Structure 1
Amino acid sequence: MTRTTPSPERARLAAALRDLRARTGLSMVGLAERTAFSKSSWERYLNGKSVPPRDAVRELCRLASEPEGRCLALWEIAESQWSGRAAPALRTDTPAQAPSAAPGPIPPEASAPAARDDTHAGRRGAAVAVLASVCAVVVGGVAMTLFLVLGQDAPRLSPSASPSATGPRCRGAACEGRNPMDMKCGIGPQTLASHRTASGAMLELRHSETCGTSWARMWDTRIGDRLEVTADGRPRSAEVEDEADAEAYVYTPMTTTGSGTVVRACFRRASDGKEECFESRVR
């Protein structure tokens, strides 16, 4: 359900991107001709069916002569929700509230006239509960947006500092083999290198200075495609397992890296098993 119906985070991003496209006056074909992304990809991005790559957002901002800050902040939020799969508790808390409000509007099957007051009270209680939930979501969204927009320029935490509620959940060796989105190392990372494969898949090597780790990610992939990242002989790999993966980012687990470490990524196509590799050095 969450894959077919855009989440609020994806819906906000898609609406902002549609507004930018309207300002450019370009059709989907025109966008495909002026960017590195296909017509079908842009249709998915603008309809909120999948989260676009960061570079797609930047290219659309450039075409619309729009500063990148706001859209990239919306993109960070949408990507964390979409590909993070990182906070299942956040996604399950909201639906769990629905049953508590549902009994209010349902009238008793055979109640006395006095029961009408209880029904109206239940409706008022349900309305209050819904309003409170909406307010909480709005406040949370605004807080996260401010963090992403304003917090990117804040001083980095020292390695000795303990992870905060909004910062990374691990550092260094403690991150080895962990998911970068789960550990919040995927917020504001450095892109070491990018590569487009012969099959059209996009690959990136990423590095978090705060976490002291690197990883790779892929998108525009096919089921069975595989990506492996290696640094100092420690391989970490990920595979596209289903259609949902093929339409989203797929991340390898993290490996510990530092300044000067050479990070290598190898992509193996499911169609013929051929492998393409590229590498970069942590700066």
Structure 2
Amino acid sequence: MTEDTGPGPGRPSRAATAPEVRHLVERLREAREGTGLSFAALAARTAYSKSSWERYLNGKTLPPRDAVETLAKLSGADPVRLLALWRLADRAWSGRDARATEPAGADRAGTVVGPSGAPADPSGPEPRNRKPRRGTALLVAAGTALVTALAVGAVAWTYGGWHREPASRATTGTCRGENCTDRDPEQHDTDCWTDAGSRARREIAGRTVELRFSPTCRAAWGRITEPRSGDRVRVDTTDGRHQTQLVLVPGRYLYTLMIGIGRPSEARACVDLPDGSAACTGWGH
């Protein structure tokens, strides 16, 4: 039976709290509950010890790929979905995703803006002619939105208790570019989440705001970790488009809807604080 000794030296201290890791742990816990097996019974059915499973499902150790596959088979969960989540968690745990957001010579502080939303750093690229926000997303009744979310494994399935505004487009299937606008980046069948990475990051007052970009979908969105009640996370584009989400449940992590763009350098992510100030990442890279 395999006995895991936990993370080795040099392991990032904040890895276990990364959204990708927490997301994977939540799904693995659900899968374990679906088996009806205790940790001891799970150990008896697999090559991993009781203490190893306890560490995996408490987020103390990143499980190996084989353990994820084994649990998927025992629970009947979708192994493709779980392994995709494992790959994202592995990137975050190892620090590869964080390093990708810090190019040589990058300004770690990002851009700070005031209540008016104007960039405080005049050397940064100014948005081109700002256009009115594009058409309002389709209004969907709350019940319909919930059914759609459950059907595609979106917000209610992944991050219960969060609030999204406006409602995501009720379209299904893969998307690219403008077809991804107003859609949920965690919607299972878009595949946008599978190759997404953070292209800019900013920390402020215990919050972390990131610009996420999918090369496959050519779309960007904002993400905030450890927000406070009343915060708003948003993603801006250089042509004046925005997506914004209000934080109603503090301490969780929250995504905006997507905006289709050509390159990550056409977008940035921001957090609007309740006092009227705001902080933004740099434009993506």
TM-score bracket, shorter-length normalisation: 0.3 to 0.5
Q: Which structure's residues are more often helix, by fraction? A: 1
**Bigger-Rg structure (1/2):** 1
Greater relative contact order (Cα 8 A, min sep 6): structure 1 or 2? 2
TM-score, scaled to structure 2: 0.46
What is the TM-score with the length of structure 1 in the denominator? 0.46
